[in-house]
Structures are given as C-alpha cells and as structure tokens.
Amino acid sequence: MFNGAKQLIQGRFHITPKGFRMVFLVSVLMMLAALALVWPNVRKVKLSYDYQALETEHEELLSENHLLRLEKESLQSLYRIQALAKNTVGMVEPKKGQMVTIFLK
C-alpha cells in the first residue's frame, strides 16, 4: 500500500534536489511573510486585553480610594474624636478656672 503511494508520488511529482531547495526556500519565505502580516494584529489583540485588565484594575483602585477618603474623613471628624475622648478615655470639659490663655506676640 505504501509502496504504491510512494511510486505514485515519485512518478507524478518528480523534483530535483535543487528544485526541492527552491520550493522549500519559497515556502519558508512565504511563511515568514504571512507571520509578518499577522503578528501586528496578534500583538494588538494582546495589548487590547492588557488594556482592559488595567482599566478594570484602575476602576477598582479609584473606588477603593474613594472609600478610603471617606473613612479618613470620618476618622478625623472632630465630633468623633470628642466622643472618643469623653467615653473611652474619660476626659471631661475643663472648667473656667482650669483654662489659661496665652498670648503670643
């Protein structure tokens, strides 16, 4: 079976070693040209996926930044600090005689 196929191929497609090298060289050059045409599009698609991932991460970081700013503002609230000082630490408001005013020139 394989001998018959081999004879059929050799009978119809007889090619010299020099011709084989030329066909091989042309095939390799065509493959390189096709790769050169396709590669920029593949690169563009990969960069597009990377951009989308970075855009998603950017949106998440902006949202987290907003939440952290709100938390910072609530932690720095003077009403909260006063309530913590009175309730947790046990501080009290000073009386009139306990306050001293210092004037700086």
Residue 100 within any structural domain of the chain: no
Domain total of the chain: 1
Q: Which of 48, 50, 52 is nearest to 60 (CA)?
A: 52
Tell me the whole-structure pTM to 2 decimals: 0.52
| Residue 16 is assigned to a structural domain of this protein | yes
- The domain in which residue 10 lies consists of 2-93
pLDDT at 15 over 60: yes
Q: What is the CA radius of gyration of the chain?
A: 40
Residue 63 lies in a domain: yes
pLDDT (0 to 100) of residue 12 = 65
Instruction: State the pLDDT at residue 96.
Output: 85
Confidence at residue 105, expressed as pLDDT on a 0 to 100 scale: 77
**pLDDT tens across 41-94, in order?**
999 999 999 999 999 999 999 999 999 999 999 999 999 999 999 999 889 888
